[in-house]
Amino acid sequence: MAYTYHGTSNLIALPNRTVQTYPSGLVRVEQSFVCRKADAATYRNQLKAGDEMPNDDSPAIDGLYIFPDVAEVSRDDGFSEFRVTAYGRTNKTGQRIRGPISTRRIIFDATISSANITYDPNDSSSSQTISNVFKSEYFYDVADAGFRFCVPANEKIQQPTDIRSVGGAFVKDTEIDLFSQSFSAVEIFPTLNLGYVPSPTQRISPAFYASPFGFERTNFGSFDEISISYIIQTSNINFGSFFNDTSPPAKLTIDSSNSLIDGLSIRFPKVPFSDGVQVKIGNETLSATYGSGVKGDTFLMNLTQDKTPQMRISGLPRDIVYSVKIAAFNKNGVGASVTIGFKTGNGFDFAL
């Protein structure tokens, strides 16, 4: 059939255009165009998937692109009709979704050590310290976060930076914002109040992390629609190890002793957390720090700094039986004492 055409030979947009936007920011436009059948091949090449939509006046911020392939209809009135669907995006932020409230927990723990007053360096199973682990639980309510947004097709997805503000978290019943709150060990464990090093007042904030548990990526030609859900959690806090600095040292363990002409020579492993050794003979007590010596009215003593220190007591009359009490000490007091009996002038070793 022959047709007589009047007017333009351009591609004509029909008045049936529809525009639909989605919470993710995706926008879909459907539009039909017609042209003379003789010009169909020309416009067919201009209306392929991935090409920009003709006469685009949609709210798309960075273009409207055809997807999927155009449907072509040869009409009885001498025109070819192209039914075109195209996609773009109206924004880059998309939709933020606050999830339902759920209760989770954060665990605080710290290791507390004290000097073992029964420590025996000759016993391989003996420990210099006694340690206890303290634990405490906090429960907090949190809303998980969901996101729907659009990106150019195949673009690498970055984790949204506003997960915290979308979800939100606080300690149950106290409304303490875990994302900005810091804690000290002494607040959680009041028994640490004094005598521990390093200071238990150091403040630590729980680390926030979001784990994706739902992910969908749907392609619409030049754009992908992304849907991600995150579980918001906080890390447990380990305050570290603290040493009880308020205890006296462990008991001395004697390795060997040797009676001298005017005193006594003793060797023993250095006592952990001790500053020196205290000696009592008769009514006189002398204290010497490691690597030093002291002199009293009755006797004098010298103490080496070695790993196994040697203590030398001298200045006593010979051929007299003495009882000596020795004990390690530190700034908090004196440990349990060890008593040794000896006689000056013998010059021989003896077993305790």
Query: What is the per-residue pLDDT across 142-196, written as a single tens digit (0 to 9) for each?
Result: 999 999 999 999 899 999 999 988 988 787 766 677 878 889 988 888 878 767 7
Q: What is the mean pLDDT of residues 4-16?
A: 78
Local confidence band at 2 (pLDDT 50, 70, 90 cut-offs): low
Q: Is the pLDDT of residue 350 over 50?
A: no
pLDDT value at residue 276: 97
Nearest to 38 by CA among 87, 79, 86: 79
Q: Tokens 């403040």 label which residue?
A: 203
Pick 117 or 74 by higher pLDDT: 74
Q: Is the pLDDT of residue 272 over 80?
A: yes
Cis check: omega of the bond before 68, within 30 degrees of 0: yes
Q: What is the mean pLDDT of residues 320-341?
A: 94
High-pLDDT (> 90) share of the chain, % = 63
Q: Is 320 helix (H, G, I), strand (E, B) or coil?
A: coil
Question: Are the beta carbons of 298 and 282 closer than 8 angstroms?
Answer: yes
Local confidence band at 349 (pLDDT 50, 70, 90 cut-offs): very low
Model confidence pLDDT, tens digit, residues 196-224: 777 778 899 999 889 999 999 999 999 99
What's the burial of 103, exposed, middle or buried (CB within 10 Å: 0-12/13-18/19+)? exposed
High-pLDDT (> 70) share of the chain, % = 95
pLDDT value at residue 212: 92
Length of the chain: 352
Pick 345 or 300 by higher pLDDT: 300
Question: Are the beta carbons of 167 and 232 closer than 8 angstroms?
Answer: yes
Q: Is the pLDDT of residue 26 over 90?
A: yes
Separation CA 94–CA 99 (nearest Å) = 16
Radius of gyration of the chain (CA): 43
Q: Is the pLDDT of residue 60 over 80?
A: yes
Q: What is the mean pLDDT of residues 311-338?
A: 94
pLDDT value at residue 127: 86
Q: Is the pLDDT of residue 242 over 80?
A: yes
What's the burial of 175, exposed, middle or buried (CB within 10 Å: 0-12/13-18/19+)? exposed
Q: What is the mean pLDDT of residues 301-309?
A: 95
The H or E element that residue 238 is part of is: strand 237-244
pLDDT value at residue 351: 38
pLDDT value at residue 352: 36
Dihedral of CA 237/241/246/251: which sign? positive
Q: 10 Å Cβ neighbour count for 303?
A: 22
Residue 281: CB partners within 8 Å, gap ≥ 6? 298, 299, 313, 316, 322, 323, 324, 325
Dihedral of CA 87/89/90/94: which sign? positive
Separation CA 276–CA 328 (nearest Å) = 6
Considering 10-14, 216-220, 250-254, the range whose residues carry the highest mean pLDDT is 216-220
Separation CA 162–CA 165 (nearest Å) = 5
Under DSSP, the state recorded for 186 is H
Q: Is the pLDDT of residue 102 over 80?
A: yes
pLDDT value at residue 193: 75
Average pLDDT, the chain: 89
Separation CA 90–CA 62 (nearest Å) = 8
Local confidence band at 267 (pLDDT 50, 70, 90 cut-offs): very high
Q: Which residues pair with 257 in a beta bridge?
A: 266
Residue 143: CB partners within 8 Å, gap ≥ 6? 98, 99, 100, 101, 102, 166, 167, 168, 169, 232
Q: What is the mean pLDDT of residues 63-91?
A: 95
Q: 10 Å Cβ neighbour count for 4?
A: 5
With 0.75 as the threshold, say if the pTM is over it.
no
Question: Are the beta carbons of 325 and 279 closer than 8 angstroms?
Answer: yes
